[in-house]
Amino acid sequence: MIRTNKRWIVVVLIFLATSINYLDRSVLGVAGPSMMKDLGLNKIEFGVLGSAFFWTYALMQIPIGVLVDKIGPRAIYAVAIIWWSVCSMLTGMVRSFGLLIGVRALMGIGESPAFPTNVRVISDWLPSRERGIANGLFTMGIAVGAGLTTPAVAWVVTSFGWQTAFLLTGVIGLIWAALWLFHFTNKPKDNKKVNAAELTHITSGEPEPLTGPAVKIRWGQMLRSKNVWAILYGLFAQDYLLYLMLTWLPVYLVTERKMTLITAGFYAILPWVAASVGALLGGYLSDRMIKNGTPAVRARRRVMAIGMILSLAIIPAAFVADQLSAVLLIAASLGGMMFANGASWAVVSEIAPRGASGTLAGMQNFIGNIAGWIAPILTGFIATVTGSFVYALVIAGIIGGAAALVYLVFLKERDEFRPEPSTTPAPEGALQ
């Protein structure tokens, strides 16, 4: 029997969702110079506006992860993308600083299910040996949405105004929601486009289903895991660099590197191209090592540590005088971070308690996105006080370099979750 490949259509769908997710976030950065001028915002106020999204986005991660595990990805993702698309449109309609903060905070709630849902989808739809490249593909959507679309967004902002850019990205999200509901089912076995050969492939190499009494995984037990804390800090470090670039890169190139908005839009492509390549390459290499017999956690750890060492390139980028050299060093840093990022999401499925990958992904994304509270505001404050972005870039490099050490020292191949038996049946993956 010829095996179907519906699982890769599903991966393409979550890649597109991630691209739209980050396109909606990145429009604020591209529109930043025009918005600051039009609305009379200073750098600190714009930093607060960039941070407002993450106040709610991060706080929603843990409850959303639990909901994804209980309700399933199909309904959660459809509601989420409709919600955040409407909020994107509203960003282009309101003009007061207070209302903009409110809309961005609401948008953070809408976008919060994306990554826990992506991880759960990949855990359910792909075997372990394909999850690295699948996670690399969906995380490549970060680079595509945040950076490769920058010239087009800059052109829309310049030609039609920043409000139009927010409206258009909202419409794109609504179109995706219809495609998702048409193609996706929570489980491969419920999808009429998946044949028996593909089902067998998806479950190959997976542990036998658990039998006997249900088990409990306690929150305290999960948080006592060194593996868990290693991935939590690691994503925080990655997200710090990511959200600094997402909020400030176009503004940095325009104000500190003295580029026009259109020129900055084209230069800004280079870091995101490097990020796209890094995401795919990191996922591919970690999968390749697993296929060659390397234990899964060890393979992911190597890729994650190498990537975060490369992210240190942001430090010399702060000091070089040449525009192109600075952009190329930023590209090396962002490419290294994304090289680590795909493996960072893949390793969740390897260390999570059975049936709780969405919950652990939510925990990881909560801690990671605390960086979204800090990086935009701190960068704006530093740039205002010092008159330069130098110290802000150096701080991001130090945080990233420390993540490489954390991965190498604390992330190990060990089973830290030994759930206690329970005499009361409970749903698979229930957390007490």
Instruction: Give the pLDDT score at 300.
Output: 92
Q: How many residues does the chain have?
A: 432
How confident is the model over 68-103, as pLDDT tens digits? 888 889 999 999 999 999 999 999 999 889 999 999
Instruction: Give the pLDDT score at 74.
Output: 93
Instruction: With respect to residue 209, please indicate whether it lies within any of the assigned structural domains.
Output: no
User: Rounded to an integer, what distance in angstroms lies between the CA atom of residue 171 and that of residue 256?
Assistant: 33
Contact 249, 143 (CB under 8 A): no
Output phi, psi for 421, to 5 deg. -65, 150
Instruction: With respect to residue 40, please indicate whether it lies within any of the assigned structural domains.
Output: yes
Residues (pLDDT < 50) of the chain are 208-215, 418-432
In terms of phi and psi (left: phi > 0; alpha: psi -120 to 50; beta: otherwise), the region of 377 is alpha
Q: Collect all residues with Cβ–Cβ distance below 8 Å to 266 and sequence separation of at least 6.
A: 150, 151
Instruction: Give the pLDDT score at 266.
Output: 83
Instruction: With respect to residue 207, please indicate whether it lies within any of the assigned structural domains.
Output: no
Instruction: With respect to residue 420, please indicate whether it lies within any of the assigned structural domains.
Output: no
In terms of phi and psi (left: phi > 0; alpha: psi -120 to 50; beta: otherwise), the region of 387 is left
Instruction: Give the pLDDT score at 415.
Output: 58
The residue type found at 361 is A
Contact 82, 422 (CB under 8 A): no
User: Rounded to an integer, what distance in angstroms lies between the CA atom of residue 374 and that of residue 64?
Assistant: 22
User: Rounded to an integer, what distance in angstroms lies between the CA atom of residue 319 and that of residue 393?
Assistant: 10
Burial degree of 381 (CB within 10 A; 0-12, 13-18, 19+):
middle
Dmax of the chain from CA atoms? 67
Report residue 241 CA to chain centroid gap: 12
Instruction: With respect to residue 430, please indicate whether it lies within any of the assigned structural domains.
Output: no
Instruction: With respect to residue 212, please indicate whether it lies within any of the assigned structural domains.
Output: no
Gap between the terminal Cα atoms of the chain: 43
- What the block records as the tokens of 170 is 């909202």
Instruction: Give the pLDDT score at 355.
Output: 66
DSSP 248-314: HHHHHHHHTS---HHHHHHHTHHHHHHHHHHHHHHHHHHHHHHHTT--HHHHHHHHHHHHHHHGGGH
Instruction: With respect to residue 30, please indicate whether it lies within any of the assigned structural domains.
Output: yes
- What the block records as the tokens of 132 is 């690295």
Instruction: With respect to residue 208, please indicate whether it lies within any of the assigned structural domains.
Output: no
Provide the sign of the torsion angle of the four alpha carbons 349, 24, 248, 384, taken in this order: negative
Q: Residue 38 belongs to a domain with what CATH number?
A: 1.20.1250.20
Instruction: Give the pLDDT score at 359.
Output: 75
User: Rounded to an integer, what distance in angstroms lies between the CA atom of residue 121 and that of residue 7?
Assistant: 9
What is the count of structural domains for the chain?
A: 1
How confident is the model over 139-156, as pLDDT tens digits? 888 888 877 787 888 899
Closest CA to 45 of 279, 281, 377, 319: 377
Which residue carries 């690399």 as its tokens? 136
User: Rounded to an integer, what distance in angstroms lies between the CA atom of residue 65 and that of residue 117?
Assistant: 8
What pTM was computed for the model? 0.74
Domain span at 167: 6-199+219-415
